[in-house]
Amino acid sequence: MDAHANIKNVGRMLDSTHDEVHRQRFVSVLRKKVLVDFAKDMKTVYEKKVAGRHKRRTGKAPKDAREIRRAMLHEPVFEAWSSLRYNAQYMTWWSVQPAVERQLPELIQAAKDAHLANPAGGSLELDNKLHIPGYVSQLDVHQMPGCFQTEFTKDDVAQGAVYFYGTTVFSGGLAHRRGNKGSVGQTIAQYLKHKGFKPKRILDMGCTAGSNTMPYKEIFPQAEVHGIDVGAPCLRFGHARAEAEGHAIHFSQQSAEKTNFPDNYFDLITSSFFFHELSVPATRNVLKECHRILKPGGLVLHMELPPSALTDAYYNFYLDWDAFYNNEPHYEAFRNLDFPKTLVEAGFKKKDLEMIRIPNYATTKPEEFKAVVEGRGQTARRDHGGGAVWFTFGGWKR
Ligand SMILES: C[S@@+](CC[C@H](N)C(=O)[O-])C[C@H]1O[C@@H](n2cnc3c(N)ncnc32)[C@H](O)[C@@H]1O
């Protein structure tokens, strides 16, 4: 295959066998069953049985997520749900890994070709001396074997590919820019564009394989767009995909806790699904770094799970599952942070903070999206559940 055709292959569907395709479909359906239908049944058991029993025993309803967790821990419905959810998560990566391994030599070659030909004009800078923080290197985050940074062979892209193809199985495309379902990046960029904000320099922190970075370049084509991550295999894969899709994005291997960007450089700093994987001290460092490299007049707007202060105790119990069973040990502590206080400690002024729930652009009616942009409408749901509404937080630098 010539180099050009080879580059175009990066990010196309995996060449999975019949059995692998069906395994991937099975896992997607299983996840939906567990997260939607079975989750509803579990909540009913909590409301109809467990909460009442707790009240009879203690005189009070469970007061917070931890108390609900203790009350639910040995309930058969929780044990079954938790076990299915754990296995569906593990099987997500397992369902794409064999195909990635089989095609690894071609994927590596395609990424090299993309880097050399550089058709879109983006760039890739790796730093093999970068210290990989313990919250990434010491565990397989969300059970993805090898996490984001492991390199099994020279010029490896496997972890980027496993994440990219695995998230399609994981979320059926929503949140990660597949098909016409849109993405977090597209949603935030469209929201800001509708607001009349025109960032000239944009940074996506913890960009992994660039799925949520690319929409910024699509929606703000004149902007200089950067993506940083600590995982080299993810960056190689992301760079190759961006080049294949014609987006000049500058990927570099850096820690968001301490970057090499100058002071006051970016108009917009963003991220998606990033902070809940950091330790709390790292979260504080990253927010301080955001403030340092943000231009006066610029905006920081990160997408994350909503803080526990904004959601009810049962939903907190439900969301915090990942902290206990999904190798995301900082998840609960991150959500328990006082977000406004943490942003103010990082240098932002209280009056300039933002906490916005934005409905997913591609699956929301234009008039509903416009109403939310103009502050006239409520987002369809209060939580981020199902990916229908994205919670964002940050602030302006004045
Ligand atoms: C769940 S993934 C983010 C997913 C991605 N933003 C998306 O929307 O597809 C978290 C990413 O953050 C990266 N990461 C973790 N700590 C980091 C740090 N200190 N600096 C930069 N990237 C980091 C990980 O390597 C990983 O790729």
Residues 70 and 179 in one domain: no
Establish whether residue 257 lines the binding site of ligand 1, counting it when its CB lies within 6 angstroms of any ligand atom. yes
pLDDT of residue 286: 98
Q: How many domains does the chain have?
A: 2
208 Cβ inside 6 Å of ligand 1: yes
- What confidence tens digit (pLDDT) does each residue in 376-394 have? 876 644 444 444 789 999 9
Question: Quick check: CB of 228 below 6 Å from ligand 1?
Answer: yes
- For ligand 1, atom 14, the nearest C-alpha belongs to 206
Cβ(230) – ligand 1 distance below 6 Å: yes
Tell me, using a 6 A CB cutoff, whether residue 253 lines ligand 1.
no
According to the model, what pLDDT value does residue 159 have? 97
Work out the average pLDDT over 244-252. Answer: 96
Domain that holds residue 13: 3-108
For the cut 60, the answer to whether the pLDDT of residue 336 exceeds it is yes
Ligand 1: nearest atom to the Cα of 141: 1
As a dihedral over the C-alpha atoms of residue 355, residue 357, residue 360, residue 365, rounded to 10 degrees, the angle is: -130
What does the pLDDT read at residue 376?
Answer: 82
- Predicted TM-score (pTM) of the model is 0.94
Distance 12 CA to ligand 1 centre (A): 22
- Report the DSSP beta bridge partners of residue 201: 224
Residue 110 has pLDDT above 70, yes or no: yes
Q: Is residue 366 part of a domain?
A: yes
Q: How much is the pLDDT for 238?
A: 96
Rounded to whole angstroms, the Cα distance separating 180 from 182 reads: 6
In the chain, alpha helices (H): 3-8, 18-32, 39-45, 51-58, 65-72, 76-117, 134-137, 158-171, 184-194, 214-219, 232-244, 280-293, 313-319, 321-325, 331-335, 339-345, 366-373
pLDDT at 384: 41
Position 178 scores a pLDDT of 52
> Which range among 106-110, 224-228, 350-354 shows the weakest confidence by mean pLDDT?
106-110
Instruction: Provide the mean pLDDT of the chain.
Output: 92
Does some domain include residue 116? no
CA of 85 to the centre of ligand 1 (A): 22
pLDDT band at 13 (very low <50, low <70, confident <90, very high): low
Q: Is 210 in the pocket of ligand 1 (CB under 6 A)?
A: no
**Could you tell me what percent of the chain has a pLDDT over 70?**
92
Residue 293 in contact with ligand 1 by CB distance below 6 A:
no
Domain boundary, last residue among 50, 80, 108:
108
pLDDT of 311-330, one tens digit each? 999 999 999 999 999 999 99
CATH number where 226 lies? 3.40.50.150
Q: Does any domain span residue 134?
A: no
Domain end marker among 73, 108, 143: 108
What would the two tokens of residue 167 be?
């998230």
Pick the atom of ligand 1 nearest to 278's CA.
16
**Are 90 and 193 in the same domain?**
no
